[in-house]
Amino acid sequence: MSTIQIPSGWWVLPVLLFANTLRAQTLTLQQALDAALQHHPAAKSASLQAQQQRQLLPAATALADPVLTAESPTGNFYTLGVTQSFSMPGVYRRQKALQQAHIAQSENAVAVTLQQIKFQTALAYSEWQYQWSLIAVLETQDSLLQNLAAAAERMFREGQTDVVVAQFARLQAAILRALLRQAGQDAAIAKAQLGALTGLEGDLTPEPLDRQPFRPMVPATADSAAWQNNPVLQTLRQEMLVAERTVDVTQSRGLPELTLGYINQGERNSPVGNRFNVGVSVPLWRKPYNANTAAARTGVEIANQNLAAQSLELDAAYRQALGAAEKARLALEEYELNVLPAARAVSDASRRLFEGGLTDLVSYLRNRKDALEVEVAYWGLVREAQVAEMNLKFLTGRL
């Protein structure tokens, strides 16, 4: 029987995944988030929209343009005049309040955009991080199985084993090599996606995927207050305030307006006091004012229903995310307490039996394959827990 020596410490994730990792720069999640916020055009667009609304504030209280006139009241000469219209003081106050509500809404929209960018970036980083960790696990096994396949081929040529054993060893090595290449390609895709979001390129590596932050997970209760700070909800609340301010402005436009003027309608030498005039616009036709006011009140109800709909969606999404987080926590707990120790025990025992000549290579490879599947599934659960935590932070506005 073979006397091949098998390394037993294959469960430990290598600190260095590739030879060039020593020269690579580690990119942390926070660095990726900061870079994405600086690089993403959506963040710049949202900031510019908020700036635009602030720039419009002086226009909310601006007076109408004065009207300059040149008239010939008697046909013998021309006189120059000017008239200026004024709204009631409350109109300007309400228009300013409306514009201030628009500014607050645009600033909340910035928070929504930034939150979405961070969530997309965090998901891409998590995928890159997971594939990088998976490569580490598969790379260790790839080296081992390539050696075992070569040893089995040599033993077949020497007549120490049959062709089935040699072919089975080559098959297991080929399967693992295919998985390793697939993980490498997935890691490259995730890195490219992250690079598009952050603008960062070059020889970068992620932080090691750490399972410790996911134990314990969030409490297994759905508290509706947890998602009340979601930026989308804040924006919709501000949208309802904008609708209410719009009602105020619409109603104020039905108030009379004053017009003051200076113009000479008499002879050239008319007294100065007779050259001034004052007028009042009387809103007699109430139908358009009433229609606009009714439409503005309907806008308030629409905003209220949008807020209620978004609250319902957030509540459902939060409960689902909370359940997914708890599911991942329980699965990780089961794997760490029972599944992983059992798989490691089987792998170590199989290795010792194979090295001692008490079992064949096929049995050893099958046991090792089962143990590797457990290891890969475990790191998949770690990523599920990480994504669940990110989703909860996104829904609660804490990402």
d(CA 48, CA 287): 38
Q: Which CATH class is domain 26-395?
A: mainly alpha
Q: Is 62 helix (H, G, I), strand (E, B) or coil?
A: coil
d(CA 87, CA 64): 9
| 137: exposed, middle or buried (Cβ count in 10 Å: 0-12, 13-18, 19+) | buried
d(CA 306, CA 256): 35
Q: Position 297: which residue type?
A: R
Which segment, 78-82, 152-156, 176-180, is predicted with the most confidence on average? 176-180
pLDDT, position 96: 93
278 φ, ψ (degrees, to nearest 5): -140, 145
Q: Are 369 and 350 in contact (CB under 8 A)?
A: no
Helices 89-157, 361-395: axis angle to 10 degrees equals 180
d(CA 191, CA 165): 39
pLDDT in tens, 247-267: 999 988 888 888 898 887 777
pLDDT in tens, 226-244: 788 889 999 999 999 999 9
CA-nearest of 185, 136, 180, 175 to 369 is 175
pLDDT in tens, 16-67: 444 444 457 999 999 999 999 999 999 999 999 999 999 999 998 888 889 8
Beta strands in 28-105, from DSSP E residues, in sequence order: 67-71, 79-86
Mean pLDDT of the chain: 84
d(CA 286, CA 395): 46
- Looking up tokens 């090599």, which residue turns up? 177
